[in-house]
Structure 1
Amino acid sequence: MASNTQHHELALPRLDAPVRLLAVVAPYYKDVTDAMLAGARATADAAGASLDLVEVPGALEIPTAVGMAFRSGRYDGFVAIGCVIRGETTHYDTVCNDSSRALTLLGLQGVCLGNGILTVENPGQAQVRADPAGQNKGGGAAAAALHLIALARHLSAGRKDAAPDHDVIRLAGALEGQGRA
């Protein structure tokens, strides 16, 4: 069922230092993940970030690869790209839930990542969401990683001039009538 809901997308953050991203891709549905990777590359390019690529066998291996790469210290952030299409068994639920949960746990540990693992009912839904000229979920996942990198850099800078209860952090653009946050 189509929705008329309007979605708001944040402008890409301004990053003062170079950013190195790693896309971890499970190419099981290669046409879908290739489209998502194209969207992620375009978003990374627009932000001036580099984007490396590693492929893993499936969506369940994406969090493990992200964790390994995070511990290497070579990357600022990660873009998880994969697609899980509902089949005839409960395997779909396991893969969707466990890959999402593992990525969330990595994020709670400070890993800057964008979750671009599609969980859909059919190939048509996957194509619409993967299309860089459509919903561009690969680009959205890259943007999410970039926003988290910007936030992590901002917080690690240790701003002492702002009152924590009243500070507004807006890294995607300035507040109306004010300079850049």
Structure 2
Amino acid sequence: MAANEQHYTLDRPSFDEGPKILIVVAPYYKDIADDLVAGARAEVEAAGGTSEVVEVPGALEVPTAIGIAERLGDFDGYVALGCVIRGETTHYETVCNDSSRAIQLLGLQGLCIGNGILTVETRAQAEVRAGVQNKGGGAAAAALHLIALTRRFGGARGGVGFKPLGEDTILATGGTTV
């Protein structure tokens, strides 16, 4: 982001019941991760929500942890945080692409996820994004907006794909039950 650019930011959503958010962070660069988490927590609290933080070894483990929490936990949404700084090998591309792709796939399955995994060229870029630009707060805001949208459209339906017909639906359509 150029210093003189202005970007539009959506108003913070409001909730009748505050959302419960899981923040999953890869603290490989601990100081940067701490700034990201602080921004995310502040945004969740400002929206009347609560948050829990879990740490995982690296950015590749963040989507797996979110998937586990979705199956076994009770969260309205998730914030994925971490930092990947380009090194001398192609490992950077693998970590950036695969973690982002996995988070996107979870989102397409109906999970409300804000992706705040920084992918940068230098530590200085990461420090600015985690601190001054508050990308952790931005990722939490994204998750909160998705939760608000989910609630607006009637809540979670238990995943994607075909929804099994219940007896009431079958009878209402003139079918019979077995």
What's the TM-score, normalizing by structure 2?
Answer: 0.84
| 3-state SS, counterpart of residue 18 of structure 1 | coil
Deviation at 1:145?
Answer: 0.4
CA distance in 2 between partners of 1:20 and 1:2 (Å)? 34
Q: Deviations over 1:69-107 (max 9, x none)?
A: 011241000000000000000000000000000000000
The answer (yes or no) to whether the contact 2:22–2:52 under 8 Å persists in 1 is yes
* Equivalent residues in 2 for 1:38-117, closer than 5 Å: 38-117=38-117
Runs of 4+ in 1 over 4 A off after TM superposition: none
CA distance in 2 between partners of 1:109 and 1:73 (Å)? 16
User: Is it true that 1:155 corresponds to 2:153 in the alignment?
Assistant: yes
Which has the higher mean CA deviation after the structures are superposed, 6-15 or 59-68? 6-15
CA RMSD of aligned residues (A): 1.2
- Which residue in the other structure is 1:22 paired with? 22
Q: Deviations over 1:2-50 (max 9, x none)?
A: 3532111111101111210000000000000100100001101100100
Higher alpha-carbon Rg: 2
Number of corresponding residues = 155
CA distance in 2 between partners of 1:110 and 1:2 (Å)? 33
CA distance in 1 between partners of 2:96 and 2:43 (Å)? 25
CA distance in 2 between partners of 1:65 and 1:8 (Å)? 31
Q: Write the letter of the residue equivalent to 1:105.
A: L
| 3-state SS, counterpart of residue 81 of structure 2 | strand
CA distance in 2 between partners of 1:150 and 1:97 (Å)? 28
Identity of aligned residues (%): 66
Unpaired runs of at least 5, structure 2? 156-178
- Which residue in the other structure is 2:13 paired with? 13
- Which residue in the other structure is 1:143 paired with? 141
| 3-state SS, counterpart of residue 27 of structure 1 | coil
